[in-house]
Structure 1
């Protein structure tokens, strides 16, 4: 298996609505929020973990393939080699493309040479420096606290108030996605762009059904901008 090139897709992620990717901090502080967003441990600035983008893009591509409900072991995990072995034709090609992009479990060793190493790597997305300077000039913070309540349908009163931290709409993050190209690879960049387009159509992070996590991808390279604009995953 010969590595031919490594392509980097770079650009910005622009939030179209508030984004919440939780930090997993179970400690409640006096005067704090009970649902904070993930932040860099040194700068305390919000960022988007690369794993969050990778996981959501893979999940959406697997939903699009229609293969999730037909997993060989019947669970809800990601597609693996055992699923590939049971497929034929276009379904097998689609599954193989996903496995090549995102990789397989270390426990899957049979026929591993057919898939090889994962092609796509997703870097953590930090705040865009140019956007950050503008925010400092306008004295706006990088996060906001949004209160949410359940409503008693009979009394019309608020129940169980909850305060969630989120990154506000308009925030811009820089992204870098590396794509390894091996001899014989075909169509993997197109699959990756389809996944990113599906993410634009869906949502990133938590509370997507309540309007959180709407994002827009802006690519640096004109070639990538044109390819992404013409992508129609559905």
Structure 2
């Protein structure tokens, strides 16, 4: 009698519990976002950011672990604050390379170092669109989903948390969509406006300073003392 061959794949131990926790936390955060109409108060977005961070913590535990160095040899090693261009961020590998150790190869990143941070502007519509993406991918997740799907879920949730965190910052009368909590420059061209945008425009429109090249100075021959009078 022939018995069917069983798969060698084993579901990770904590994945069923974490997946259940993710699906129990996500609806609460999603309802908070959908119950806001138009421009909500920053304090309301602060509660949403807290709820999304709890969802992100669960999604991060489901995804493959990410390390600050991105080094496959020393994944939890120290980070090199002065890493040369083209080198990795692992301080141990870079120290060996600086010392000329022939065994020190270039460290290969084993995963992305940081989670996704969406570009501005940060609006309520952008947060709603991000929540729709999260709901779609979480609905398709199951115990045997590949690690890439769990990593994508963590990135999407972190992006939603970033948007909510920016919307929770105190707003000024500048009404800047890129920097909601930025100070106002009262002397900006065209009237008071966002200080960050005014500085960026000034740098963009200001021509670079002229480069002055020093010419080599001519050396003056030493003066000869006067000869004796005849």
TM-score, normalising length from structure 1? 0.21
Greater share of strand: 1
Greater relative CO, 1 or 2 (CA 8 Å, sep 6+): 1
| Bigger-Rg structure (1/2) | 2
* Larger proportion of helix: 2
TM-score of the pair, normalised by structure 2: 0.21
